[in-house]
Amino acid sequence: MSSRPLLCVDDESSNLATLRQLLRDDFSLVFAKSGSEALEAVGRHAPALILLDVELPDMDGYTVARTLKQQAASSAIPILFVTSRNGTHDAQAGLDAGAADYVSKPYSPALLKARIGTQLKLAESLLLAQRYHDAIHLLGTAGQGQDVDTGAHIWRMALYARVVAEAAGWSPERAQLLQDAAPLHDAGKIAVPGSILLKSDTLDEHERSVVRRHPQVGHDLLRHGRGPVFQLAAEIALHHHECWDGSGYPQGLAGEAIPESARIVAVADVFDALCGRRAYKAPWMMDDAVRKLDSMSGKQLEPRLVEQFHVALPRIVQIKDAWDGPAA
């Protein structure tokens, strides 16, 4: 049984009694006999789902549905129209108003219960997905400290990583997973003091050693996540500062010993860092950034992926323009 009630809205007492008889063993229930009562009940009870008739005395169900969908607090509540109107036009009007489903009277009790169960499970899945996304957003942003520009960097860079991955032959599904994981690449910087992250002068030896610990810190933080995004993010966090020629850190890996996910993110990360503003540098012109990327091929970056970056460059320019305005 859901901890939140179902809201049943119908102007006929007999119809509400039927719903009560059918659903009371499985759900807590709240009832309303008009559109205004329904809107008030939603604000008071935050129902998990609404069973809504079209024909109400003060406003029709379509108006109620549209009103609820326009309000942030109620926009995610699934609405099932349960009505004697059974024409194709009526069903389409209900869906256009924001309903998740449309059930015609007389209905099969088993069918109605199945439709309710399906919508509740879908709503729960969407809520979990949103919480998952929120966790990624919070962790990714936390890793950027107080640097406003790098707050945009992680999302823009993630888009670059996706298109480079697709150019390199990754499936759309796998590339999307990379896009979701990439913003967490610097999550370990949460352990680096802001005085170091925002320092405009050259870092001293101690400060550099503090910064160089962030890949391991990020990996240790993310590896405990059970989902595939967090597992991939942990891999990227640990290895995105490794270099193709073995000169990187923290493990000094070289070539294909570095996970491909981290090699792709390294290309996207370097390009966006060059084009972005930092405490210690002004943004580079895009053509200069591309030439710098080319000069790093075979050293810090994998040559094949630098080539695929060029293949993806038209899409990368589109992304950069969308975030920053026309490319320099």
- Predicted TM-score of the model (pTM): 0.64
Integer CA distances (angstroms), 194 to 65, 136, 200, in order: 47, 21, 12
Cβ 159 vs Cβ 182: under 8 Å: no
Residue 85's pLDDT is what? 75
User: Has residue 253 got a pLDDT over 90?
Assistant: yes
Q: pLDDT tens for residues 25-68?
A: 999 999 999 999 999 999 999 999 999 999 999 999 999 999 99
Residue 5's pLDDT is what? 94
Domains in the chain, please, with CATH?
Answer: 6-128 (3.40.50.2300), 143-324 (1.10.3210.10)
CA-based nearest residue to 239, from 224, 209, 268, 218: 218
Q: pLDDT tens for residues 186-233?
A: 888 888 887 887 787 888 999 999 999 999 999 998 998 878 999 999
Average pLDDT, the chain: 89
Q: How deeply is 249 buried, as exposed, middle or buried, from its count of CB atoms within 10 A (0-12, 13-18, 19+)?
A: middle
Phi-psi region of 297 (alpha: psi -120 to 50; beta: other; left: phi over 0): beta
- The pLDDT-based confidence of 142 (bands split at 50, 70, 90) is low
State the number of CA atoms in the 13 A half-sphere of 261 facing the CB: 26
How far is Cα 61 from Cα 93, in angstroms, rounded to an integer? 10
Residue type, 211: V
